[in-house]
Structure 1
Amino acid sequence: MPFTDNFHDLSNTEGYQFEFYCERCGNGYRSPFQRDKVEMGRGLLRVVGSLFGGAAEDISRSAEQWRYDRATNSPAKDRALGTAVEQVRDNFRQCRGCGDWMCAALCWNDEIGQCLRCSPVLAEEIARAQAEAQVQQVRQKAYETDWTANVDMSTRAKLNCPSCKAKVDGGKFCSACGSPMAVPVPCGGCGSQNNKLGAVFCSDCGSRL
């Protein structure tokens, strides 16, 4: 029997139904619900048993036990599955390359006679390769472009103003109090801290700051 590994059993106590799905894209097809005529008769027996009791009630209990046993495989379910397979068969193709069942609508290459996983459509592969190349080229151009030409890298970035401690997003002056964001650098030669902000050489000893 086909479709032994790509279907879900949706049957319940009232009848049988199965859902078959494509092993590539996951799209599914449900078979029509097949009502179980025997179960309908059992249901009538349960109603009679609940009304009259006695022997009829014993028959009702047997019906309930039959409903419990019916959850497992049975000849009736096998026949229902066979019917469902015939109802959905035209929507699927089995690939001779990988053996999987594919939906005929989206995942089958009619020209080659195999699934799109084993024999992709050339035009689709070209379009996919072109899209991937475009993304790579865009990234490459982005890397080649200087995005930091106007960024001041000589001054260490600060998250808080050294004067008022307000949070800032960068710049030379605090947006909250107007104080310079640069911190005075002590001279490595004489240790003087009297140099103006932005000075390159120490005003006391001439050492490079």
Structure 2
Amino acid sequence: MSEASDLHFSNNYHDLCQQHGTGAGFQFEFYCQCCSDTWRSPFEPYRSGQASGWMQQASGLLSGLLGSMGSQIDNAAEGLARAGWGTARDDAFRHAIAAAQAHFHRCAHCHSYVCERCWNIDSGLCQRCAPDLAAEIQTAKHAGTIEVATQQARLAGNSAAANLDTVTSRQLVCPSCNAETRGAKFCPQCGHNLAAPANCRACNHTLPAGSRFCPECGQGVAA
């Protein structure tokens, strides 16, 4: 970076300059360090770079006729584009900064450059350092509403839980068809009685869910 890096706006811009080709020129994109909205400086053409672009295009079209001279023209075009690039870019950067100063403000507290929408004109600070009072009040109101509503919802949930049967075990998968039951008394797919435990027909021992044989007597369980 040349001496232009000592200027303002050294940390919140993107360099869009193009050194070579017919579209060579200088342009810089500055962005708000609060909301990241951007502003681009007016395009300034780089005549030497554009001239080199035209030379290289002509060399390419006539490469069959020019032979080795074509590479010489390319080298000359490259040198033309490099000559004076740094100085011309620094001048263009200064022009861009002068124009950008009309679109950005520098916060006296955090030193960020922010756009008009992120600037608190009453305090001379950015919105992050001095948030808009009306917006903060509305945000606090909304947060308070959510907090109280959450508390009331918890109380309502506590009241509803008092009527729930949390002691009785529930089968979550039907042992007959393997469908999800969601704690129902009867299977929603096959109607199997889930509330009554399955017993072995031979010894009346309670069968664990999914059993194919009785763990007490070994009797096969009918499907």
**TM-score bin (small chain):** 0.7 to 0.9
2:56 counterpart of 1:46: yes
Report how far residue 66 of structure 1 moved: 4.8
Aligned ranges 1:117-132 → 2 under 5 Å? 117-132=128-143
- Residue 94 of structure 2 corresponds to 82
Preserved CA contact (<8 Å) 2:172 2:181: yes
Report how far residue 55 of structure 1 moved: 6.0
Q: How many pairs align?
A: 187
Aligned ranges 1:14-33 → 2 under 5 Å? 14-33=24-43
- Residue 215 of structure 2 corresponds to none
Preserved CA contact (<8 Å) 2:59 2:73: yes
CA-to-aligned-CA distance 1:113-143 (integer Å, 9 cap, x gap): 1111111221111111111111111111111
| Paired amino acid for 1:137 | V
TM-score by length of 1: 0.76
Preserved CA contact (<8 Å) 1:46 1:57: no
Preserved CA contact (<8 Å) 1:17 1:31: yes
What is the distance in 2 between the residues matched to 1:184 and 1:44? Answer: 90
Q: Cα 1:166–1:120, aligned 2, differ >3 Å: closer, same or farther? A: closer
Aligned ranges 1:85-100 → 2 under 5 Å? 85-100=97-112
What is the distance in 2 between the residues matched to 1:166 and 1:117? Answer: 55
Q: Which runs of 5+ in 1 are unaligned?
A: 187-191, 195-209
| Paired amino acid for 1:126 | I
2:179 counterpart of 1:169: no
Q: Which deviates further from its counterpart, 136-145 or 56-65?
A: 56-65
What is the distance in 2 between the residues matched to 1:164 and 1:103? Answer: 65
What is the distance in 2 between the residues matched to 1:122 and 1:87? Answer: 31
Q: Which deviates further from its counterpart, 163-172 or 121-130?
A: 163-172
2:76 counterpart of 1:62: yes
| Paired amino acid for 1:141 | Q
Preserved CA contact (<8 Å) 1:22 1:101: yes
Report how far residue 56 of structure 1 moved: 7.2
Q: Which runs of 5+ in 2 are unaligned?
A: 1-6, 207-223
Secondary structure (helix, strand or coil) at the match of 2:101 reads helix
- Aligned-residue sequence identity (percent) comes to 34
Q: Which deviates further from its counterpart, 48-57 or 152-161?
A: 48-57
Preserved CA contact (<8 Å) 1:155 1:182: no
Preserved CA contact (<8 Å) 1:46 1:61: no
- Residue 147 of structure 2 corresponds to 136
CA RMSD, 1 decimal: 2.9
Relative to total residues, which structure has the larger helix share, 1 or 2? 2
What is the distance in 2 between the residues matched to 1:164 and 1:60? Answer: 79
Preserved CA contact (<8 Å) 2:12 2:31: yes
Report how far residue 152 of structure 1 moved: 3.3
Secondary structure (helix, strand or coil) at the match of 2:14 reads strand
- Residue 10 of structure 1 corresponds to 16
CA-to-aligned-CA distance 1:126-167 (integer Å, 9 cap, x gap): 111111111111111111113435543232222212344333
| Paired amino acid for 2:174 | C
Q: Cα 1:112–1:73, aligned 2, differ >3 Å: closer, same or farther? A: farther
Aligned ranges 1:106-117 → 2 under 5 Å? 106-117=117-128
Q: Cα 1:49–1:57, aligned 2, differ >3 Å: closer, same or farther? A: farther
